[in-house]
Chain A
Amino acid sequence: MSHARHAAVLGAALAALVLAGLVSFALQPYGIYLLSLWAVYTIAATGLNLTLGYAGQVSLAQAAFVGIGAYTTALLMPHGVPFGVSLMLGALGCFVLGLGLGFPALRVQGHYLAFVTLALTTLAFLVMRNETWLTGGIGGISNIRRPAGFASGRGYEFLCLGVLACVTLLAWWLLRSPWGRAFMALRENPMRAASLGVDVRAYTLLAFAIGAALGGVAGALYAPLVQYIEPSPFSLDFSLALLLMVVVGGSGLFLGPFLGALVAVLLPEWLRFLQDYYLVIYAALVIVLLALCPEGLIGLAERHLFRRKGRA
């Protein structure tokens, strides 16, 4: 793909962040909260997009990694560990766990893998719920403080956007490096990739671990954002929601998670009149979208606006 296109994609992502920052000055606290949540979801979904969209490895464990990041921050910060350090530790922990999760990925592919990662999410959820001594069980952990200087709604939103900007730059760099090409080779044709010296095992593990680490980063931001965590947001439902964000936006497209997360955050607000039927309608819409255009909304837009040449 051309350098111009690569640069345009990065430019669009960063412009979206600046816009999100500016818009917040016109918004009520709830709107600012939604934008912060969008940033958190985008980070988690970008990680999953790397694993699923680029490297082609189905993972339903992303919610577990977000949870691990969130609990790490919530547990470490009261002990005087700075926010930045606990975020890094959470990400590192998820990276290592992601490597571990990648091992089954070497044994099985595709749908098998989806179920193995699903099993991990369920296990992590059980630990969060049952190990009360550590996680507070269903009572959860409350009064999670935001780092000094970012205590206000808008201040914390800027922190979320700042971290998202860093994640965007890192992911962009990674994906246009030879690693990005190797990840896509895993998705496209692992047998041929192996015959060309691509260490399929190493790259599969890395795709899992890096995706997981971004899940950890998202979790670290999530805990102080909502200031109270308990196990239920990190259940399988959230893994599925993240997966749908990636797919709705455009799996394997750099901007896909940005759009998918936006839909996930805003659509429930716009469709409030549907009340309990929201998820029913949303799921139906996703199925229709998948049938029409598996490349998601961005793919759908590209198909109509340009003749598609390359993936962004």
Chain B
Amino acid sequence: MIGPDAPTVLEARDLVRSFGAVRAVDGISFAVREGEILGVIGPNGSGKSTLFNCLLGQLLPSAGQVLLDGRDVTGMRPAALNRLGVSRTFQLLQVFPQLSVRDNLILAGQEHVGSRIARLFGSPDAGLGAAADRMLGLFRLEALAAEMAASLSYGQQKLLDAAIAFMAGPRLVLLDEPAGGVNPTLLAGFRERLRAMNTEAGATFVVIEHNMEFVMSLCTRVICIAQGKIIANGAPAAVRADPAVIEAYLGD
């Protein structure tokens, strides 16, 4: 599906992040090629979220490099990375509770439109009204457009959270436990939407997830992290069958 000659979008080179004496990320290297849906699995506390935070400029890595399209972006601020087309969700819900659902979406796209000064004098919705409505439709949130995000149910906020990440049409999206706390019915639809974003919009994904069934059915490749190191990297079925992976989970 993804040719070996597909260009590398994101690459981690020997990333290390220590907290005191603990090396939460301990020399991780991998590459994500365009169009891939890369799953990142591993037991709790294995360093997955720390890895994400290092990749996205939330944390400064102690050593190693992060490359976006071959360019060194190590330690670049999250906002700057986002404007280069990298988007993310967080493990815990992160929406803007006192903004309307529609304003949440417009906010998510507005910094990609024109210059800051031009936005001040332009239209209040930064010309994103139609795009926001399209996204609302895609995530079945039309009826809630005018509601405050805080008044939505958990599942709806989770959808909004994902919709926010996709609003600016990112090339690369890092999802931190997107399936967590979402009921199975919503989850199936959610997976289809992610697939659609991947095939139609050509977005590349890196997904941290505990729901093994979700990972296996969505991802094109999976890496498993244990104690800050990659212990398996390959096709979903192969990684699941890997004795080292089973050992890591059972030993947990």
What does the 1/0 interface line of B121-133 toward A look like (CB < 8 Å)?
Answer: 1101110000000
Given A181-B110, A197-B79, A197-B168, do A202 and B116 touch, yes or no (CB 8 Å)?
yes
> Which of B119, B147, B168 contacts A179, CB < 8 Å?
B119
Report how far A186 CA is from B56 CA in the complex, Å: 19
> Which of A198, A199, A252, A311 contacts B107, CB < 8 Å?
A198
Given A195-B56, A195-B82, do A185 and B96 touch, yes or no (CB 8 Å)?
yes
Report how far A188 CA is from B149 CA in the complex, Å: 11
Given A188-B99, A189-B95, do A199 and B79 touch, yes or no (CB 8 Å)?
yes
Given A194-B77, A195-B78, A196-B108, do A179 and B120 touch, yes or no (CB 8 Å)?
yes
Given A1-B103, A188-B96, A195-B56, do A178 and B120 touch, yes or no (CB 8 Å)?
yes
Report how far A90 CA is from B120 CA in the complex, Å: 23
Across the interface, which residues of B come within 8 angstroms of A303, CB to CB? none
> Which of A177, A191, A310 contacts B124, CB < 8 Å?
A177
* Contact B124 A178, beta carbon cutoff 8 Å: yes
* Contact A181 B103, beta carbon cutoff 8 Å: yes
CB of B98 within 8 Å of the partner chain: yes
Interface segment, one of B65-73, B83-91, B191-199: B83-91
Across the interface, which residues of A come within 8 angstroms of B79, CB to CB? 193-200
Report how far A199 CA is from B83 CA in the complex, Å: 10
Report how far A1 CA is from B125 CA in the complex, Å: 11
Across the interface, which residues of A come within 8 angstroms of B82, CB to CB? 194-197
What does the 1/0 interface line of B226-246 toward A look like (CB < 8 Å)?
Answer: 000000000000000000000
Report how far A2 CA is from B112 CA in the complex, Å: 23
CB of A111 within 8 Å of the partner chain: no
Chain B contact residue count (CB 8 A cutoff): 39
Report how far A310 CA is from B88 CA in the complex, Å: 27
CB of A247 within 8 Å of the partner chain: no
Across the interface, which residues of B come within 8 angstroms of A191, CB to CB? 58, 78, 90, 94
Given A189-B96, A195-B56, do A178 and B78 touch, yes or no (CB 8 Å)?
no
Given A194-B78, A195-B87, A197-B168, do A178 and B110 touch, yes or no (CB 8 Å)?
yes
Given A174-B120, A194-B77, A197-B82, do A188 and B103 touch, yes or no (CB 8 Å)?
no
Most buried by A among B78, B83, B97, B148: B78
What does the 1/0 interface line of A181-225 toward B look like (CB < 8 Å)?
Answer: 110110111011111111110100000000000000000000000
Given A192-B90, A197-B168, A200-B79, do A181 and B120 touch, yes or no (CB 8 Å)?
no
> Which of B95, B98, B108, B110 contacts A311, CB < 8 Å?
B98
Across the interface, which residues of B come within 8 angstroms of A181, CB to CB? 99, 103, 106-107, 110
A52 to chain B, nearest CB (A): 14
> Which of A178, A184, A200, A309 contacts B147, CB < 8 Å?
A309
Across the interface, which residues of B come within 8 angstroms of A176, CB to CB? 124
A194 to chain B, nearest CB (A): 4
CB of B100 within 8 Å of the partner chain: yes
A252 to chain B, nearest CB (A): 8
* Contact A198 B111, beta carbon cutoff 8 Å: yes
CB of B164 within 8 Å of the partner chain: yes
* Contact A189 B94, beta carbon cutoff 8 Å: yes
Task: Give 7 CB contacts A-B under 8 Å.
Answer: A1-B100, A179-B120, A181-B99, A188-B99, A195-B56, A195-B78, A197-B79
Known: A182-B107, A188-B97. 20 other contacts (CB 8 A): A177-B120, A178-B119, A181-B107, A181-B110, A182-B111, A184-B99, A185-B107, A189-B95, A193-B79, A195-B87, A196-B87, A196-B164, A196-B167, A196-B168, A198-B107, A198-B111, A199-B111, A200-B79, A309-B147, A310-B100
Interface residues of B (CB under 8 A from A): 56, 58, 77-79, 82-83, 87-88, 90, 94-100, 103, 106-108, 110-113, 116, 119-122, 124-126, 146-148, 164, 167-168
Those 7 A-B pairs whose CB atoms lie nearest each other, nearest first: A197-B111, A197-B82, A192-B94, A188-B96, A194-B78, A178-B110, A178-B119
